Each structure stands twice: as structure tokens, then as C-alpha cells.
């Protein structure tokens, strides 16, 4: 599968299906694994880095139920391609930097992605649409078992899977749930909730993970603790927290609809109006306006647009996507024009 083919393809996590998909955009699990005896990527020399890549690629090739997978060597991709993969949440920002011996394996549905030689030898990630961590666990657990048959992982009976950074030791698992919380933001409750979350050893991040700001009312919540609990317990803990946040967001939405319906309809329709008529628009403004339109769809205030279409706009209006679609490099000003063109075109029938 060529990288450009992904352009005409909708990722699994953007489908807008799955439980609670009006509030939960996607659920993601990742497992960190390392090969026994080999130095971790940052400490490995060229030969060791290549050996690790070869061993993992061969192991993945032996898993017969993983069909239609493609391997990309990061050193062979240009900066737009790398940014494109980050925008699709198929790899981390860190993986796009210092690309020696780094590779990415993804499956056709963009459910599975395997980063090789990121911070750890293997960062295996499974994405699902909606609130669905246990389904993601079933998939990733099976893949991990298959890999464990082919590769000797660095593991200790006391401390579990051994990782480059001690914050991932143990299960090596990080579960993240991407939430869309416009009502909690508009009713100024979100800071209080995020403060409470950080006290419970969970972290909140923006759309693109570590080091990114929360924009457009999107928040990514993940566990910090990976040792001392089983994988199922960790997932159950995240789920318990997410269920409470969903309930709070739902309450805030109901409150706004009952008390401030006119204000809400005004903001949603104005946002929709700007998107339908703008000729120059930044990605920041796009995300903020699309967030309101998405809320309008969820509350049935904007009919017929459909959540998947809005979700898709979030991603195809990102800088690297615009440049891939145009087939050439675009300056930031050129992108703002192109972005507005695409949005007007996609929304004109509504």
C-alpha cells in the first residue's frame, strides 16, 4: 500500500461509530516491548538498530492473520510524509525525529500500527473508534502473544516488561481515550475536572499526544501507572474515570440545551456559516469551528451532515494532508486558502 493511497481512505478511528461516539472520538492502547539483550534504541549502534528492525519485521511477517500490512522505513520518507503519518495518529511525533533504523508497520484499516525503534524497540498501537478500550485490548493482546512466540522480550518476573523509560515498566501499557468535551469547556468546568484527573495519576494531553496543547475542546486522557496492576485492571480504571467524564459532559450538554438553547444554536450555526463561506482559514480556527459543528451534529441541531464527514474534515485539513492532496509543498498562507477551499467544497451540499 502506497502512502498516498491512505489519502482516499478513512481511518478506523474516524468512523464515528462505537460506544459513546458522540463524546468519545477514539480509544487507543499501546504496548511497549523490547528485545532481550539488545540495547534500547537510543543506546544502540547502527548494526544493533538494524538487527532489531530485521528481527521484528521477520516476526511480524510470520503472523498470518495480519494481512495487508505495509512497512515504511522512516529514513526514506520526506518531512511531509512523516507529518502526514503523525496527523493520522499512526505514529508519534518522537518517531518522526532522528529517523535512524526507525520503521513503521501499519495495516490497511489503520487499526494497528507498530513503531520500530522508537523509544522502545516496539511500540505496538491499536486504535478503535468510540469508547472501546477492551476491544482494543483483545486485538493488541493477541498480536502481542503472537510476537512473543517469535521474539524474546526483555522481561522480569518482578518488574514485568522492561522499557527504556521506567515510567513504562511493568505492563508497558498506555491506554488513551480521546474525548470531545465542548459543553464542559463552555460551562467552565473542564479545569476543575482536569485538575482532579491529574490527582488520580492520569494525564491529559492534546490531540497529538505528548507535549501538545488541548485545542478545539479535544482532550486525550491516559493512565500514568503501568506497574502494580494487571492490564485489565488498568483498563477498568481508565474506563471508570471516562464513564464519569462522559456523564458530566452529558449533564453539561443537557443544561446548556435547556437553559441556553438560543445561544448554543447561534454559536453552532455561526461556526457552520463561517466554515461554509470562509476563503482563508487557519488550522486552529478550523478545529475550533469544527468542534462546534460536531456538537451541533451530536445535539441534532445540524441535521444530515453526519459525524464521519466532520471527523474526516478534522484530519484532511491538517497541513501535511493538504500538501499531499495538492501534490506539492504549500506555504502556510497557501495552506490557509486551500484549507478553506476544501471545507467549502465538502460542506456546500448541506
**H/E element holding 71?**
strand 69-73
The binding site for other proteins (CB under 8 A) comprises 34, 36-40, 42-43, 119, 141-142, 144-145, 148-149, 152-167, 169-171, 173, 201, 211, 225-233
Comparison of 134 and 308: residue with beta carbon closer to other proteins: 134
The C-alpha cell 476543575 sits at: 192
Comparison of 8 and 43: residue with beta carbon closer to other proteins: 43
Measured CA to CA, the distance from residue 345 to residue 156 in angstroms comes to 55
Comparison of 207 and 342: residue with beta carbon closer to other proteins: 207
SS3 108: coil
Least distance CB 253 / other proteins (angstroms): 35
Comparison of 208 and 309: residue with beta carbon closer to other proteins: 208
Q: Is 188 exposed, middle or buried (0-12, 13-18, 19+ CB in 10 A)?
A: exposed
Least distance CB 93 / other proteins (angstroms): 11
Q: Residues with Cβ < 8 Å from 184, sequence gap 6 or more?
A: 190, 193, 245, 248, 249, 252
Q: Is the distance from CB of 52 to CB of 35 less than 8 angstroms?
A: yes
Comparison of 151 and 322: residue with beta carbon closer to other proteins: 151
Measured CA to CA, the distance from residue 212 to residue 267 in angstroms comes to 26
Q: 122-129 and 202-205: which strand pairing?
A: unpaired
Least distance CB 100 / other proteins (angstroms): 16
Buried b (16+ CB within 10 A) or exposed e, 290-318: bbbbbbbbbbebbeebebbbbbbbbbbbb
Least distance CB 146 / other proteins (angstroms): 8
Least distance CB 228 / other proteins (angstroms): 3
Please, which residues bridge with residue 305 across strands? none
Comparison of 224 and 277: residue with beta carbon closer to other proteins: 224
Comparison of 66 and 227: residue with beta carbon closer to other proteins: 227
Least distance CB 190 / other proteins (angstroms): 23
Least distance CB 116 / other proteins (angstroms): 16
Amino acid at each position: 500500500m502506497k502512502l498516498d493511497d491512505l489519502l482516499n481512505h478513512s481511518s478506523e478511528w474516524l468512523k464515528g461509530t462505537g460506544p459513546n461516539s458522540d463524546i468519545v472520538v477514539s480509544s487507543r492502547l499501546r504496548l511497549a516491548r523490547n528485545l532481550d539483550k539488545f540495547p534500547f534504541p537510543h543506546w544502540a549502534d547502527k548494526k544493533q538498530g538494524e538487527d532489531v528492525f530485521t528481527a521484528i519485521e521477520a516476526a511480524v511477517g510470520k503472523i498470518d492473520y495480519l494481512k495487508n500490512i505495509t512497512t515504511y522505513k522512516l529514513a526514506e520518507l520526506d518531512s511531509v510524509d512523516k507529518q502526514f503519518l503523525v496527523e493520522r495518529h499512526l505514529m508519534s511525533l518522537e518517531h518522526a525525529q532522528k529517523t535512524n533504523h526507525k520503521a513503521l508497520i501499519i495495516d490497511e484499516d489503520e487499526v494497528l500500527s507498530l513503531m520500530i525503534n522508537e523509544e522502545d524497540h516496539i511500540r505496538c498501537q491499536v486504535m478503535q473508534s468510540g469508547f472501546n478500550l477492551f476491544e482494543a485490548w483483545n486485538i493488541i493482546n493477541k498480536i502481542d502473544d503472537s510476537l512473543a512466540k517469535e521474539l524474546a522480550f526483555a522481561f522480569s518476573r518482578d518488574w514485568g516488561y522492561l522499557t527504556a523509560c521506567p515510567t513504562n515498566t511493568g505492563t508497558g501499557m498506555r491506554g488513551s481515550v480521546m474525548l470531545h468535551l465542548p459543553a464542559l469547556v463552555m460551562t467552565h468546568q473542564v479545569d476543575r475536572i482536569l485538575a482532579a484527573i491529574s490527582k488520580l495519576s492520569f494525564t491529559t494531553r492534546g490531540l497529538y499526544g505528548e507535549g501538545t496543547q488541548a485545542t478545539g475542546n479535544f482532550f486525550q486522557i491516559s493512565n500514568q501507572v503501568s506497574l502494580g496492576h494487571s492490564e485489565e485492571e488498568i483498563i477498568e480504571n481508565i474506563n471508570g474515570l471516562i464513564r464519569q467524564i462522559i456523564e458530566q459532559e452529558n449533564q453539561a450538554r443537557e443544561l446548556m440545551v435547556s437553559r441556553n438553547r438560543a445561544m448554543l444554536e447561534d454559536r453552532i450555526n455561526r461556526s457552520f456559516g463561517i466554515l461554509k463561506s470562509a476563503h482563508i482559514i487557519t488550522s486552529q480556527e478550523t478545529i475550533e469551528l469544527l468542534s462546534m459543528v460536531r456538537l451541533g451534529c451530536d445535539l441534532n441541531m445540524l441535521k444530515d451532515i453526519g459525524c464521519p464527514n466532520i471527523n474526516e474534515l478534522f484530519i484532511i485539513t491538517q497541513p501535511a494532508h493538504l500538501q499531499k492532496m495538492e501534490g506539492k509543498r504549500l506555504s502556510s498562507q497557501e495552506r490557509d486558502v486551500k484549507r478553506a477551499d476544501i471545507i467549502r467544497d465538502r460542506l456546500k451540499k448541506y
